[in-house]
Structure 1
Amino acid sequence: MTAPSGPALPVPDGLVEAFRDYERAAAEGDTTALARFVAPGSSTLAGDPHGLLVGSDAITAYAAAPPPRRLVQTHVQVTDPDHALVVALTEHESGGRGQQTQLWARTADGWVITAAHTSEPPPALDSRIWRVVGDPLVPGTPGGPLSGESVAVKDVYAVAGHPVGGGNPAWEAGAPVERGDAKAVLGLVEAGADLRGIARADELGWSLFGANPHFGTPPNPRAPYRVPGGSSSGPASAVSLGHATIGLGTDTAGSVRVPAAYQGLYGVRTTHGAIGTHGVLALAPSFDSVGWLTRDADLLALVGDVLLPDTAGPAGTSELVLVPELLALAEPDVRDAVESWAAAQGLVVRETWSLGELDEWRRAFSTWQAWEAWTVRGPWLRERLHLLGPDVRARFEHAATIDERTAERAQGVVQTARTRLRELVGDRVLVLPTTPSVAPLLGSDLGPVRGATLLLTCLAPLGGLPAVSLPLRTAAGLPCGVSLTAAPGRDRDLLALAASLG
């Protein structure tokens, strides 16, 4: 360890030994030992490529041991006998160089780190986000309305020359190379957008949170150390990080809207059947819909101009209807954000709906979705359930137990709910929280969150309705979303309204 040239205070006693002990613990991956060097308190900081952790509790809970590395250079700048800045250049076993900057302080218990920042060699390809990526993978047709835009395609769409991976390595290994593009992919490329690459999906498209056990969890740059939202997690993270401007996904139970809310993006689920799903890996055909994510509302609407049918939808108004019973399903921070947004719009009609059957609708939705999922994927999965991650495997195992009579009863409730929801929405625009909460922390229990989320996200697929999620922020600065939902076929109206309100 060397001090800077010129007049400087001497390196304090014990600092070199503390730094070496820290590096020894890092080399051994000893997170318990590393935690002893974290200064206690709420002001301690630790930043790395994943985000910034504030407070010793957060740092010790989420900070991982660094990858294997060796010190190349180390410099110390002493500010006073009890404080020093240490800057170290490291060389990683996997290649490339990184840098760590640490502010050390002497305490009664020894030297500890009060603030740190670590940089790592950037990966050539972040396989948590991308399966295949190019520069571009497929160039767009010059001169189209989407020229200059780039697309991250969820790995459930056919892209010519590539298999559909479906978020599972066993499925990908047995999938044929596609001879042509899915309709939505072709439409975007012909409109001038470059296809940047094929982005990760949760396994077979059946998840709301984005944690893929095979390839890792894509990052959520707007809410670090929180889940990104799924199953269109790869395209969402690609857009949020600026790797692409458009994320092409699918939405069965919220797989576009949830990551939009969790990552502060605009997202749309289109009217069921409005855009053909030929060439798209199905999950539950009664609910599967094409959707996409962007960082601004104007581009969200421009993609709609390209992909949606060029026909006039049903007549409707832009009257906004807020239902207190639905708003109450959100946690206070999200509810307050939606209330503030609604107040800013001016006149919003508050209307009481009798929704005592909402729990029944959600259960019927889940049952019929599971029945269809097993119908379309069961023949392949019957001898391969062990190849799935535990969460998705549990859902398919349950799906396999549903008998035909139970499925038929659920389908009947779904049909009743569809009629009722379309009557309630009418020719107006329903306003509701996109999700009941902000993105859960990584490693938290997602079971209760899933059930609460489905109470809100199942409404659009039950009704076959289009829904647009607009980004909001809670008082604490975390992303959340407000959804606009309207009658079937009013996709363009909703996209235009979102652009005017965004």
Structure 2
Amino acid sequence: MMPRMTDGTSDPLPDGLMDAFWDYEAALMSDDLEALDRLFAPGPATLRTDAAGTLVGHDQISAFRGGRGGAPRRTVVDIQVQVVDAANALVVATTELVRGGRGAQTQLWQRRPEGWVVTAAHVAVTPPAIDIRVWRVVGDPLVSGAEDGPLARETVAVKDLFAVAGQKVGAGSPAYLAAAPVENRSARAVQKLLDAGADVTGIARTDEFAWSLFGDNGHYGTPPNVHAPRRLPGGSTSGSATATSLGHTTIGLGTDTGGSIRVPSSWQGLWGIRTSRNAVARDGLLALAPTFDTVGWVTRDADLLARVGDVLLPPAPPPATSDVVLATDLLALAAPDVRAAIEEFARGWGNVVREPFDAHDLDTWRTTFTLVQSAEAWKQHATWVASRLHTLTPAVRGRFEAAARLDPAEVNAAAESLTGVRLEIRHRVADRIVLLPSTPTVAPLPGSADQSLRETMLGLTSIAGIGGLPALNVPLRTADGLPCGVCLVAAPGRDRDLLALARTIPRPA
């Protein structure tokens, strides 16, 4: 293919430029990482950007390529070249994708002693009509709400655990979805939103059986994190949270057993609330661990978060005033950048008391939570899972296998101690609002989230889980601009107090 000069002249192209371009294209199609690294300029100033965000520096670009598993197959159909000078040129290429649709790439090439290299690149492709990483099924809308109501014209992404009339519950598992019946009626929480005027846009992805905190989905692809590009979205309400972050919907309906509202809210810069245990009916909801399962939701602003609460939560007395306490020992579990963001938030709030939560038993609490959760998950799903473990992703399969091997005596001891731990947590919260990190870190890169992070995170999130407490994420940002969150925890039944308080908190710039 003969490239064309953008100014319409027939001036010759700089020597070697198009050879380098075609070498790059061949390397891209064969996923030749060594050649791709060589053809991109070394150093921290090299840029590559697409709809997900900008990668800065050769190292970031190389790491991205190494983890994506190759680029979409394509054919170059047009090339335009604008020569800046003998050592610099802009190449714009139009491509046709094998899967359908068109794409474009813009590359700034520079001649160096070692040859032509790309110093900056922008890549664009036709987006899919439905992003299957985010949605299982979607409509326009999928289910219409009432013509009028307090949530009229709002839109909802429903986590794939809730029954939606006329649809199946898939639970994030292709095998479970295939065998699931079509639901005759919607879950009560879904129906209340519909009755209030909200439309259900679609059913959003969840981590398998909602037993995850990171949101990396091995079956359908990991939902993107628009506010922390190329980082994990947080699970298991990952699809609903991403749909809300992307602006596909205004409300993400989900669940929170061990942090599945608070984690994606924190990592994606959303407002989110896990409600008090049994505050919102769970009829029509596929359970994981009924002792800890709660309904929750995420939004992009605090006012809508509270308006959803007006629909789903039971009536409550007028909001009560409370001391606000920053739990210093829990704050110490957060990474320095998250800790600094929370400290700044607390200073801006005013009269925040700093004192420890006295969580010296945090590891024991987490272990108690994990044992009871695992035992209940196995009890809920053993009949279906036992003969289908091979259909599950490795992490979730491992959790079910471990649950099947639990010592009943150990589980009974944990269940018996749970009441005492719950009372202890509620006593420490009392009538105060307690601040703690929603997550100990910003969203990690794929492959970097390990068991240590999971355990630290569960230590923080299990406090509200064991206590049956409402917990609300306020979105913050670190000094580097990455989302994180501070969690407001209160006594059971004080959900509306937290939502009213959230309305008074300005969104951080």
Confirm whether residue 345 of structure 1 aligns to residue 327 of structure 2. no
Contact 1:316 / 1:427 at 8 angstroms: preserved in 2?
Answer: no
Contact 2:330 / 2:356 at 8 angstroms: preserved in 1?
Answer: no
1:62 aligned residue: 64
State the TM-score, normalized to the length of structure 2: 0.97
Q: What secondary structure sits across from 2:192 in the alignment?
A: helix
2:92 aligned residue: 87
Label 1:294 to 1:445 Cα distance change in 2 as closer, same or farther (>3 A): closer
Q: Aligned ranges for residues 168-187 of structure 1 at < 5 Å?
A: 168-187=173-192
Where structure 1 has 5 or more consecutive residues not aligned to the other structure, the ranges are none
Contact 2:133 / 2:205 at 8 angstroms: preserved in 1?
Answer: yes
2:49 aligned residue: 47
Contact 1:8 / 1:78 at 8 angstroms: preserved in 2?
Answer: no
Confirm whether residue 152 of structure 1 aligns to residue 152 of structure 2. no
1:402 aligned residue: 406
Contact 1:318 / 1:497 at 8 angstroms: preserved in 2?
Answer: no
Contact 2:102 / 2:126 at 8 angstroms: preserved in 1?
Answer: yes
Moved over 3 A (4+): 6-10
Contact 1:22 / 1:37 at 8 angstroms: preserved in 2?
Answer: yes
1:419 aligned residue: 423
Provide the aligned length of Structure 1 versus Structure 2.
501
Q: Distance in 2 between matches of 1:445 and 1:220?
A: 15
Stretch of structure 1 that moved more, 31-40 or 477-486: 31-40
Q: Distance in 1 between matches of 2:34 and 2:380?
A: 47
Confirm whether residue 105 of structure 1 aligns to residue 110 of structure 2. yes
Tell me which amino acid in the other structure corresponds to 1:226: R
Q: Distance in 2 between matches of 1:114 and 1:414?
A: 58
CA RMSD, 1 decimal: 1.2
Label 1:8 to 1:470 Cα distance change in 2 as closer, same or farther (>3 A): farther
Which of 476, 490, 493 is equivalent to 1:489? 493
Q: What secondary structure sits across from 2:5 in the alignment?
A: coil
Q: Distance in 2 between matches of 1:169 and 1:407?
A: 30
Contact 1:9 / 1:79 at 8 angstroms: preserved in 2?
Answer: no
1:363 aligned residue: 367
Where structure 2 has 5 or more consecutive residues not aligned to the other structure, the ranges are none
Q: Distance in 2 between matches of 1:274 and 1:238?
A: 25
Q: What secondary structure sits across from 1:300 in the alignment?
A: helix
Give a deviation string over 1:228-267, Cα, whole Å, max 9, x none: 0000000000000000000000000000100000000000
Which of 460, 466, 479 is equivalent to 2:464? 460
Q: Distance in 1 between matches of 2:346 and 2:398?
A: 39
1:137 aligned residue: 142
Q: Distance in 2 between matches of 1:357 and 1:413?
A: 13
Contact 1:130 / 1:198 at 8 angstroms: preserved in 2?
Answer: yes
Q: What secondary structure sits across from 1:501 in the alignment?
A: coil
2:29 aligned residue: 27
1:241 aligned residue: 246
Q: What secondary structure sits across from 2:476 in the alignment?
A: strand
Which of 252, 260, 265 is equivalent to 2:257? 252
Q: Distance in 1 between matches of 2:61 and 2:309?
A: 42
Q: Distance in 2 between matches of 1:266 and 1:445?
A: 23
State the TM-score, normalized to the length of structure 1: 0.98
Stretch of structure 1 that moved more, 61-70 or 252-261: 61-70
**Offset, 1:427:** 0.8
**Offset, 1:49:** 2.7
Q: What secondary structure sits across from 2:272 in the alignment?
A: strand
Q: Distance in 1 between matches of 2:231 and 2:21?
A: 30
**Offset, 1:7:** 6.0
**Offset, 1:31:** 2.8
